[in-house]
Chain A
Amino acid sequence: MIKKWFKKNKPRKDLPFFWQNYAKSFEEKLPEKVSDTRFVVFDTETTGFDFKQDRILSIGALRVENKSIEISDNFEVFLKQTKFNPETVKIHGIIQNERFQKITELEALKKFLSYIQNSVLIAHHAGFDVKMINKALGRHGLPKLKNKILDTAILYKSTRIATNLIDREKSYTLDEIAEAYNIDLTDRHTASGDAYITALIFMKLLSRLSKDKNFRLKDLFKN
């Protein structure tokens, strides 16, 4: 499958240098074993849920390798945006003239790509965050993310037992899973905080899904 991707996405010389660097990282094949794989767990805070109109305010990410997180290695950026939605301020608390140092959208994307490289991306309800990032990339004339993606909401569903007694189609929120796994909900609704909670959930999910020491990456995508 990886090979096929490459044929489709031949390195385009017209794209900026940082993108080419990012694209180049995919020449390296992903490891077979889950324990050797580098995962990046991330979350975005946005001005809303409209992919066209709304903008990313902040991205938080952490690297998970062999069920550990190096805190020094975390990623957290706040973005300068002209769009402002007082409704969502209630949720994420990021106001327009914040004391955080803010960078431009392009700068943030640049940093994010160089951080993630070819890692497997993890997010809760990943579809939303990935699309938000892809939309932002598109605004700067860049292609979509090339990474493999896993969704903790879907992985969690596959750990639920097969019985008619529960609603198996139910979609689980981050809070519900965190409660089931006894994870503290501090810093909820900050990109970094949510990424950290998602990372803890992901590690717990891995142990519930893995069948043995040589648990392969391939198997993880079967869920």
Chain B
Amino acid sequence: MTNSIASRIADFLSDFPPFSLMERSHLKLIANEVRVMYFEQGKTIFARDEQVHNYFYIVQKGAVDLQKVDDSKEPETIDKCDEGDIFGLRPLFAKENYQINAVTDEESVIYAIPLDIFKPYAISNPQVGDFLMESFASNTRNPYSNEHRGKLVADENEIVFKKEALFELQPIPIIKKMVTVSPDTSIQKAAILMTNRKVGSVVVVEEEKPVGIVTDVDLRELVATGKFEIKKPIGKVMNSPVICYSKGLTIAQAQLTMMKHNINHICITADGTPNTRVKGIVSEHDILVSQGNNPAVLMKAINRASSTKKLKRIRSKIMVLLNGYLKSNIPLTHISNIIFELNDATIKRTIERCIAKLDTPPPAGFAWMSLGSQGRKEQLLHTDQDNALVFEDVPEEKLEETRAYFLKLATKVTKRLNIIGYEFCPAEMMARNPKYCLSLSEWKEQFSQWVTTSGNDEILLCQIFFDYDISYGNVKLTNALSDHIYEILKGNRNFLNRLAAQALRNPSPLGFFRQFLVEQDGEKKDLFDIKKRGVMPLTDAGRLLILEHRVKNISNTSARFEKLAQLEPNNKELYQACAYSSRALIKFRTRQGLKNKDNGRFINLEDLGKEDKIKLKRCFKTIKEIQELIKLRYEATYYL
């Protein structure tokens, strides 16, 4: 019987070591015996002290966290495997139980490779064996330190975990992608090359041997000042000789060398002298990147990312950053701002890349709007993408053609955002939906219609679309839209009252005896829905009150309440409490989400400590008070 699935699996495997080192015919035999396994997010593939499986694993889709477990302490992620990474190699080398946990960090498809089928090939092909040994040893490396994989730990049964403190002693990450030119290339040509490849330096080589290096600084000091013309050969302005090292160089050494010679690039050659082939280049920037916990560096990485896959990797680093911030108890306002900027940059970069991929530039000005939590700058965890697109008014006969272009763009963008980790909006509230990809006049018309015929669906749409933030494009368009919204809301008491009724639809979650109200039925029975009962009532209240005051361009809930505290001094205390509660609830949800690897929405009350419970109750008391205020101020009860 034929087996075409096995051929596809063999194709996949052949892209990744050690399988890439094997013969196609052998690979097919192995692929034929693979077990395809599906895991939800947060599921354990194997746990510490569990007996070893008869398989080892390769990630086909998704991501797997390898965790070190110390009794008493929370598991700590020591490595992250994504597409094509192998893990769970212990049974190939040892019979003892697993020493680490392997837990899916997102929904994943894993190929399990049976040992008894695979082992003969590993033994007969020394390259394969060596690779597996090295991987097994280095699978214990610290995840974000970029320690390269080619190192063997003397005793592979003893797992030694690298601590952050030893960071400086780890080998430097080498950037393989470097730009090289010959000494007679013109300065202009070299500069164009650097610009296109988005790098800050170029290595000048003769027969692959480094003879000099030119950096951005040199171009500024020697060329832009007029000392050298751009037609002159690059050899005239290069720094020579080049400081070279071999690849064993540690981070500490690299930093010292840079300081000593007052340079920010070091060349890596085969033997560490300028007389052998260039292997790569290390910059100060790369060293910073390897620390991986610096938002400025992540931002740079986002703006340089040349593939969706890279953006996805950066996003998982952002999550590490977020976790660190929460652990060190940094104020949520700062956290939100940083994470928002990084998310925003990711979206911008994705749109930028998609526009470049289309055959023609946009036929009209447009703006990409992020809605919902990203629009409110409250999106910390991976949540759904909600977005919309507005484009400049075009002549009637061009309208559909223009829309078609933007729908095509939006389809590309949303698809890539989905891969990066922002899931598709289940209600299709996305710019790729023709209903939400409109010209400016169409949007104005749409908002007018929503506000005048305010049934429940329309109110819901208003609530989502009122919290928008421009992610990309022409800010004039979104401003015009805001102006229009405030114009049609002027004196529309009826609409505000209806909005108020909606804001009260989720009453304060404390029951009569000050118990928490938990979900009554369904799969989330007995869990507490922190989004529906905590975050949403505050968000709705904030939006309503700020709309009444006609304050533009503040979409963050906490910031809205801070503003309200200024505007209504008599309610200052309540509003400040609301601002605090909003931040506290989001922080709470984020922490839960990171812990349980989900969106943090449902909380098991039994897992909470006393202190947390009291904190939550205080937030809910505030919700109750703000809802009382709304009830009195608006004639909302008519609509309840």
When each residue 180-200 of chain A gets 1 if its CB lies under 8 Å from chain B and 0 otherwise, what string results? Answer: 101110110010110010001
B61 at the interface (CB under 8 A from A): yes
B223 at the interface (CB under 8 A from A): no
B523 at the interface (CB under 8 A from A): yes
B2 at the interface (CB under 8 A from A): yes
Residues from chain A with Cβ under 8 Å of B460 in the complex: 165
Give which listed residue, B2, B9, B457, contacts A71 with CB less than 8 A: B9
Is the beta-carbon distance between A212 and B426 smaller than 8 angstroms?
A: no
Give which listed residue, A74, A179, A183, contacts B3 with CB less than 8 A: A74
A8 at the interface (CB under 8 A from B): no
Report the minimal beta-carbon distance from A171 to chain B, rounded to whole angstroms. 15
Give which listed residue, B4, B39, B461, contacts A190 with CB less than 8 A: B4
Residues from chain A with Cβ under 8 Å of B61 in the complex: 182-184
CB-CB under 8 A for A74 and B5, given A161-B426, A163-B427, A165-B427: yes
CA distance A217 to B57 in the complex (A): 29
Is the beta-carbon distance between A71 and B523 smaller than 8 angstroms?
A: no
B592 at the interface (CB under 8 A from A): no
Residues from chain B with Cβ under 8 Å of A193 in the complex: 4-5, 8
CA distance A25 to B35 in the complex (A): 25
A204 at the interface (CB under 8 A from B): yes
Binds B, one of A15-23, A62-70, A125-133, A136-144: A62-70
CA distance A160 to B39 in the complex (A): 21
Is the beta-carbon distance between A204 and B428 smaller than 8 angstroms?
A: no
CA distance A187 to B61 in the complex (A): 17
Residues from chain B with Cβ under 8 Å of A207 in the complex: 38, 40, 107
Report the minimal beta-carbon distance from A50 to chain B, rounded to whole angstroms. 26
Instruction: Output the nearest chain A residue to B117 by Cβ-Cβ distance.
Output: A72
CB-CB under 8 A for A72 and B33, given A77-B1, A211-B523: yes
Is the beta-carbon distance between A200 and B31 smaller than 8 angstroms?
A: no
Is the beta-carbon distance between B38 and A68 smaller than 8 angstroms?
A: yes
Q: Could you say which interface size class chain B belongs to?
A: 35 or more
Instruction: Output the nearest chain A residue to B110 by Cβ-Cβ distance.
Output: A68
Is the beta-carbon distance between A164 and B5 smaller than 8 angstroms?
A: no
Residues from chain A with Cβ under 8 Å of B37 in the complex: 67-69
Instruction: Output the nearest chain A residue to B525 by Cβ-Cβ distance.
Output: A211
Give which listed residue, B107, B419, B461, contacts A165 with CB less than 8 A: B461
CB-CB under 8 A for A71 and B33, given A166-B427, A207-B107: yes
Is the beta-carbon distance between A75 and B1 smaller than 8 angstroms?
A: yes
Is the beta-carbon distance between A62 and B5 smaller than 8 angstroms?
A: yes
Instruction: Output the nearest chain A residue to B429 by Cβ-Cβ distance.
Output: A165
Residues from chain B with Cβ under 8 Å of A100 in the complex: 2
CB-CB under 8 A for A67 and B32, given A165-B427, A165-B428, A166-B427: no
Report the minimal beta-carbon distance from B459 to chain A, rounded to whole angstroms. 12
A105 at the interface (CB under 8 A from B): no
Q: Which of B2, B38, B61, B418 has the most CB of A within 10 A?
A: B38
Report the minimal beta-carbon distance from A205 to chain B, rounded to whole angstroms. 11
Which chain B residues (400-447) contact chain A, with CB distance < 8 Å? 415, 418-419, 424, 426-429
When each residue 25-44 of chain B gets 1 if its CB lies under 8 Å from chain A and 0 otherwise, what string results? Answer: 00000011111111110000
CA distance A100 to B8 in the complex (A): 17
Residues from chain A with Cβ under 8 Å of B9 in the complex: 71
Is the beta-carbon distance between B418 and A182 smaller than 8 angstroms?
A: yes
Give which listed residue, A180, A196, A203, contacts B424 with CB less than 8 A: A180
Is the beta-carbon distance between B34 and A71 smaller than 8 angstroms?
A: yes
Residues from chain A with Cβ under 8 Å of B35 in the complex: 68-71
CA distance A20 to B84 in the complex (A): 46
Is the beta-carbon distance between B36 and A204 smaller than 8 angstroms?
A: no
B6 at the interface (CB under 8 A from A): yes
Report the minimal beta-carbon distance from B14 to chain A, rounded to whole angstroms. 14
Q: Which of A67, A70, A71 has the most CB of B within 10 A?
A: A71
B616 at the interface (CB under 8 A from A): no
Residues from chain A with Cβ under 8 Å of B424 in the complex: 180
Instruction: Output the nearest chain B residue to A77 by Cβ-Cβ distance.
Output: B1
CA distance A118 to B337 in the complex (A): 56
CA distance A71 to B35 in the complex (A): 6
CA distance A147 to B372 in the complex (A): 45
Residues from chain B with Cβ under 8 Å of A211 in the complex: 522-523
CA distance A184 to B9 in the complex (A): 12
Is the beta-carbon distance between B36 and A166 smaller than 8 angstroms?
A: no
Report the minimal beta-carbon distance from A109 to chain B, rounded to whole angstroms. 15
B193 at the interface (CB under 8 A from A): no
Report the minimal beta-carbon distance from B65 to chain A, rounded to whole angstroms. 18
When each residue 97-129 of chain B gets 1 if its CB lies under 8 Å from chain A and 0 otherwise, what string results? Answer: 000000000010100100000000000000000
Is the beta-carbon distance between B418 and A192 smaller than 8 angstroms?
A: no
CA distance A161 to B424 in the complex (A): 12
Report the minimal beta-carbon distance from A178 to chain B, rounded to whole angstroms. 12
Instruction: Output the nearest chain B residue to A186 by Cβ-Cβ distance.
Output: B8
Residues from chain B with Cβ under 8 Å of A187 in the complex: 4-5, 8
Residues from chain A with Cβ under 8 Å of B112 in the complex: 68
CA distance A211 to B31 in the complex (A): 33
Instruction: Output the nearest chain A residue to B112 by Cβ-Cβ distance.
Output: A68
Give which listed residue, A68, A164, A186, A190, contacts B457 with CB less than 8 A: A164
CA distance A41 to B6 in the complex (A): 16
When each residue 199-223 of chain A gets 1 if its CB lies under 8 Å from chain B and 0 otherwise, what string results? Answer: 0100110010001100000000000
Residues from chain A with Cβ under 8 Å of B457 in the complex: 163-165
Instruction: Output the nearest chain A residue to B1 by Cβ-Cβ distance.
Output: A76
CB pairs A–B below 8 angstroms (20 shown) = A62-B5, A68-B112, A69-B35, A71-B31, A71-B33, A76-B4, A77-B1, A165-B427, A165-B428, A165-B429, A166-B427, A182-B418, A184-B61, A186-B8, A187-B8, A192-B3, A192-B5, A196-B8, A200-B36, A207-B40
Taking A71-B9, A74-B6 as given, write out 4 further A-B residue pairs in contact, using a Cβ cutoff of 8 Å, ordered by the A residue number: A165-B457, A184-B61, A187-B4, A200-B109
B-to-A contact residues, CB < 8 Å: 1-6, 8-9, 31-40, 61, 107, 109, 112, 415, 418-419, 424, 426-429, 457, 460-461, 522-523
By Cβ-Cβ distance, the 10 closest A-B pairs, closest first, are: A211-B523, A203-B38, A69-B36, A207-B40, A161-B426, A67-B38, A68-B37, A192-B4, A71-B34, A165-B427
